[in-house]
């Protein structure tokens, strides 16, 4: 029977504990620190076994974090952490002021990093581990200069402190990564998207120097820097005077590649920009046999078109621009003749597609001017009148639409001939009439073209003239109507303009 007595004793203890835990909601601690409990209930109402889970406390008295004791930290510790967070947030909320003082601090740090790196490199030349840390610091300072592109008003101070010259000097740094970072920053600072005044931009550009480009052949940003700098004629000419640069460009655009790369295309574009901006650069290119090299590159496209939307298509367009610039110079016209440029253009007019309008433009420039007489004669002698007049009589700018009969009674719509094609055709014919000697065989052949087929070329010319005259008259009427609504004072002001 002892086991039964033991079980009853255990049951009594459990009941006592359970009764003590059932504190009423409005109970409080008495002065002796004892809790008030409810009256004892009947034993029959008490269930044996472990105590049920306590009732959920009122949400209103739950801790703010929803966790026991606020995550396990005391109130003092929480207050300290809150104070630190507020102080950190206060420091971040104050933006750094970008002004001349900031530039001077940046320049001082930048120059120190360059000097420290140079010293460590010289001292530990055979132990790169000793100076790699200084190069990492220098790399970070170089990249920090990019913020200047948002503050072009500080360009003058930046240049005055000598930082531009220091930045450019890093182009020859032994570490290629440092050199690339430097040229990327220069490209960013001189980018056309930077909202800088001309005077601010001049301060930056004037402090820069031209460096040999050979080691940056594989880096995309170098041509971009040259393009940005070439927008000023004085700088463009100074770049062209560099004895190594123009030959390098000519060599670069001739390199054989499986497909035209972006660097090759960009080199052709830079050369075109330099030739457009300065007669000196054009003469320099011609003297370096640039005309012959450019025509040889174009000859591969006399019957073949590059794929549309590719680097090759833009590359070919840049080549045409380069040759067109060169033939504007007197010695360029003679080189163009010697390299059989006239014959190449005529082949493109007959058989080319993408090259046809560009060849027409090139001929217009080659035949123009007093020095274009030899080119005019060569055009007639090479049977060039037929493709020229065939294009002239064709009514569509694409050169591939059906032919339409022309009569004087039907006005010509110049939309059938795009404006540039019409301009170049009329320019070529004008140069032929102006430059070919009277009573020469070439002049007689030209006149005969206007007589044949019942003077259809003359009818075509008259129609073009009528269309342009009607356009000019419409503009004149608009101007007259606008002037009629102006006061005398406004008319005087317009007259002064």
In the three-class reduction of DSSP (H, G, I as helix; E, B as strand; rest coil), residue 35 is classed as strand
Q: How confident is the model at residue 138 (pLDDT cuts 50, 70, 90)?
A: very high
DSSP state of 27: -
Q: How confident is the model at residue 412 (pLDDT cuts 50, 70, 90)?
A: very low
Separation CA 105–CA 163 (nearest Å): 12
Residue 376 CA, distance from chain mean position = 41
Per-residue pLDDT, 5: 47
Confidence of residue 466 (pLDDT cuts 50, 70, 90): very high
Looking at the predicted structure, is the pLDDT value of residue 30 above 90? no
Q: Band of the pLDDT at 483, cuts 50, 70, 90?
A: confident
Q: Mean of the pLDDT values across residues 304-315?
A: 91
The lowest-confidence range among 14-18, 145-149, 214-218 is 214-218
pLDDT beyond 70 at 136: yes
Q: Which residues pair with 29 in a beta bridge?
A: 35
| Other Cβ atoms within 10 Å of 146 Cβ, number | 13
Q: What is the pLDDT of residues 148-203, one digit of tens each?
A: 988 889 988 988 888 888 888 888 888 888 988 888 888 888 887 888 887 888 78
Report residue 27's pLDDT band, with 50, 70 and 90 as the boundaries.
Answer: very low
Q: Against a cut of 0.85, is the pTM above it?
A: no
* Residue 433: pLDDT over 70: yes
* Rg of the chain over all Cα atoms, to the nearest angstrom: 43
What pLDDT is attached to residue 47?
Answer: 52
Instruction: Encode 273-316 in three state secondary structure.
Output: HHHHHCHHHHHHHHHCCHHHHHHHHHHCCCCCCCCCCCHHHHHH
The better pLDDT of the pair 130, 7 is held by: 130
Alpha helices in 394-440, H assignment, sequence order: 419-435
What span, in angstroms and rounded, lies between the C-alpha atoms of 437 and 444?
A: 10
How does the average pLDDT of the chain come out, rounded?
A: 78
CB 420 within 8 A of CB 361: yes
Nearest CA to 229 among 153, 164, 151, 181? 164
Report d(CA 491, CA 497) in Å as an integer. 10
What was the pLDDT predicted at 2?
A: 45
Q: Which two tokens stand for residue 370?
A: 């007093």
Report d(CA 346, CA 364) in Å as an integer.
Answer: 12
Q: Which carries the bigger pLDDT value, residue 75 or residue 126?
A: 126
Tens digits of per-residue pLDDT, 201-232? 878 877 775 444 444 444 556 667 777 777 67
Q: Are 104 and 161 in contact (CB under 8 A)?
A: yes
What's the per-residue H, E or C state across 367-402? HCCHHHHHHHHHHHHCCCHHHHHHHHHCCCCCCCCC
Which residues, 6+ apart, have CB-to-CB distance to 433 below 8 Å?
A: 446
Mean pLDDT of 103-126: 90
What percentage of the chain exceeds 90 in pLDDT? 38
Does pLDDT of 349 surpass 90?
A: yes
Helices 311-326, 330-338: inter-axial angle, 10-degree rounding: 120
**Across 330-349, average pLDDT:** 94
Kindly report which listed range (134-138, 162-166, 460-464) carries the lowest average pLDDT score. Answer: 162-166
Contact indicator for 331, 292 with CB cutoff of 8 Å: no
Q: How many other CB atoms are found less than 10 A from the CB of residue 258?
A: 5
The per-residue pLDDT for 299 is 94
* Residue 57, pLDDT above cutoff 80: no
Q: What is the pLDDT of residue 4?
A: 46
Q: Is the pLDDT of residue 358 over 90?
A: yes
Q: In the prediction, which pLDDT does 480 show?
A: 86
Between CA 272 and CA 204 the distance in angstroms is 24
Choose among 361, 328, 325, 363: nearest CA to 343: 363
Q: Which pLDDT score, from 0 to 100, does residue 436 have? A: 95
Average pLDDT over residues 430-459: 93
State the pLDDT confidence band at 53, using cuts at 50, 70 and 90: low
C-alpha 89: how far from chain center:
37
């Amino acid at each position: 029977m002892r086991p039964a007595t033991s079980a009853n004793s255990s049951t009594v203890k459990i009941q006592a504990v359970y009764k003590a835990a059932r504190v009423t909601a409005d109970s409080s601690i008495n002065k002796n620190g004892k809790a008030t409990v409810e009256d004892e209930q009947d034993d029959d109402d008490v269930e044996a076994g472990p105590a049920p889970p306590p009732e959920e406390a009122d949400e209103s008295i739950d801790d703010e974090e929803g966790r026991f004791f606020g995550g396990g930290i005391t109130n003092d510790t929480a207050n300290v952490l809150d104070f630190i967070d507020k102080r950190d947030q206060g420091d971040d909320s104050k933006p750094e002021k970008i002004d001349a003082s900031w530039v001077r601090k940046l320049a001082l740090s930048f120059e120190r990093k360059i000097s420290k790196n140079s010293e460590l490199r010289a001292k530990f030349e055979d132990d790169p581990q000793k100076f790699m840390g200084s190069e990492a610091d220098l790399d970070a300072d170089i990249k920090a200069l990019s913020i200047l592109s948002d503050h072009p008003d500080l360009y003058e101070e930046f240049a005055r402190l000598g930082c531009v010259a220091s930045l450019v000097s890093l182009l020859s740094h032994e570490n290629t990564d440092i050199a690339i970072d430097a040229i990327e920053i220069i490209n960013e600072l001189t980018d056309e998207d930077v909202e800088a005044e001309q005077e601010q931009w001049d301060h930056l550009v004037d402090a820069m120097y031209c460096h040999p480009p050979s080691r940056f052949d594989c880096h995309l940003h170098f041509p971009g820097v040259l393009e940005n700098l070439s927008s000023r004629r004085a700088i463009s000419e100074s770049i062209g005077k560099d004895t190594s640069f123009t030959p390098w460009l000519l060599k670069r655009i001739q390199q054989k590649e499986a497909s035209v790369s972006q660097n090759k295309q960009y080199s052709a574009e830079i050369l075109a920009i330099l030739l457009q901006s300065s007669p000196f650069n054009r003469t320099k290119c011609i003297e370096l046999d640039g005309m012959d090299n450019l025509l040889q590159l174009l000859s591969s496209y006399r019957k073949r078109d590059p794929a549309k939307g590719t680097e090759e298509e833009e590359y070919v367009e840049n080549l045409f621009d380069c040759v067109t610039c060169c033939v504007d110079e007197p010695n360029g016209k003679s080189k163009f003749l010697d390299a059989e440029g006239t014959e190449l253009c005529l082949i493109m007019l007959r058989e080319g597609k993408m090259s046809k309008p560009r060849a027409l433009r090139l001929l217009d420039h080659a035949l123009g001017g007093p020095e274009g007489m030899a080119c005019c004669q060569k055009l007639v002698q090479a049977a060039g009148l037929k493709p020229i007049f065939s294009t002239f009589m064709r009514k569509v700018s694409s050169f591939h639409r059906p032919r339409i009969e022309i009569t004087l009674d039907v006005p010509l719509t110049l939309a059938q001939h795009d404006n540039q094609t019409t301009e170049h055709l009329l320019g070529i014919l004008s140069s032929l009439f102006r430059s070919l000697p009277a009573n020469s065989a070439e002049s007689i052949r030209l006149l005969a073209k206007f007589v044949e087929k019942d003077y259809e070329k003359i009818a075509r010319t008259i129609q073009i003239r009528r269309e342009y005259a009607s356009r000019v008259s419409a503009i004149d009427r608009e101007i007259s109507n606008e002037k009629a609504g102006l006061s005398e004072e406004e008319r005087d002001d317009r007259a002064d303009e």
